[in-house]
């Protein structure tokens, strides 16, 4: 049963103490905006074949728009258990540069790669507890590189710095920030709403994402407005 943000105190108490249930209903796991891109061949391919080298190439391809890039990852979906998809993508990025994954730095990443890597990592582990190479610490020891040690928000922050005028990048980062606020507990749930809607306010017109996709996210996020008092809501 889907649990909406409009909850009685008793139900909220149960959810806050039951992380797996809460995880099933969250900004990252309850916003399947890829449905707005079902006519795009790249999205169809990802839905059929999952993550492979062709998808990796598309994620890095500068000719692919950032909204489609994000929709590919959204179509791939989230992992209930921590996954290694972000680490696999970093290995692809390293191979494409004839480098070792440990040699890849944030500066070397394009905005497209930083966006894809950050969003993929967040969907790998919606608890946001992992770094790119979290499962490989014993393999790499102290030689983990900068990107290998990065978390999802650090990567998405880097993507925003590289392309600060891009709505899709800022919007995806706001979803991950909203996820972090949800995980912080009910006292922070107003920030779930504020994180996303502040980006909509900052980009009133230049939104390089399909309106239907934005609406799918907003329909879910809007429920958290009820946790904001009148002073904290940005109008």
How is the chain split into domains, by residue range?
9-227
Residues 221, 49: Cα–Cα separation, whole Å: 30
Cβ count near 154 (within 10 Å):
18
Considering the entire predicted model, what is its pTM? 0.86
What is the number of alpha carbons within 13 Å of residue 3 lying toward its C-beta?
20
DSSP, collapsed to helix, strand or coil, labels residue 161 as helix
Per-10-residue mean pLDDT, the chain, length 235:
39 37 78 98 97 97 98 94 90 97 98 99 93 67 88 98 98 98 96 98 95 98 91 48
Query: pLDDT value at position 14?
Result: 36
Distance separating alpha carbons of residues 230 and 57, to the nearest angstrom: 46
- The number of residues in the chain equals 235
């Amino acid at each position: 049963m889907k649990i909406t943000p409009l909850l009685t105190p008793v139900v909220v108490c149960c959810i806050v103490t039951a992380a797996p249930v809460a995880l099933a209903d969250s900004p990252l796991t309850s916003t399947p905006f890829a449905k707005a891109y079902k006519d795009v061949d790249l999205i169809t391919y990802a839905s059929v074949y999952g993550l492979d080298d062709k998808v990796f190439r598309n994620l890095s391809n500068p000719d692919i728009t950032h909204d489609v890039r994000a929709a590919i990852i959204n179509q791939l979906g989230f992992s209930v258990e921590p996954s290694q998809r972000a680490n696999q993508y970093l290995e692809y990025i390293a191979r494409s540069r004839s480098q070792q994954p440990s040699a890849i730095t944030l500066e070397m990443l394009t905005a497209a790669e930083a966006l894809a890597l950050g969003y993929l990592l967040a969907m790998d582990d919606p608890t946001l507890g992992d770094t790119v190479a979290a499962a490989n610490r014993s393999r790499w020891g102290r030689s983990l590189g900068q990107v290998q040690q990065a978390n999802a928000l650090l990567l998405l922050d880097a993507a925003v710095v590289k392309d600060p005028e891009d709505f899709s990048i800022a919007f995806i980062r706001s979803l991950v920030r909203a996820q972090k606020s949800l995980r912080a507990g009910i006292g922070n749930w107003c920030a779930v709403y504020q994180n996303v809607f502040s980006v909509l306010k900052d980009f009133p017109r230049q939104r390089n994402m399909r309106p239907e996709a934005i609406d799918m996210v907003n329909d879910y996020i809007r429920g958290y407005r009820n946790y904001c008092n009148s002073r904290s809501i940005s109008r």
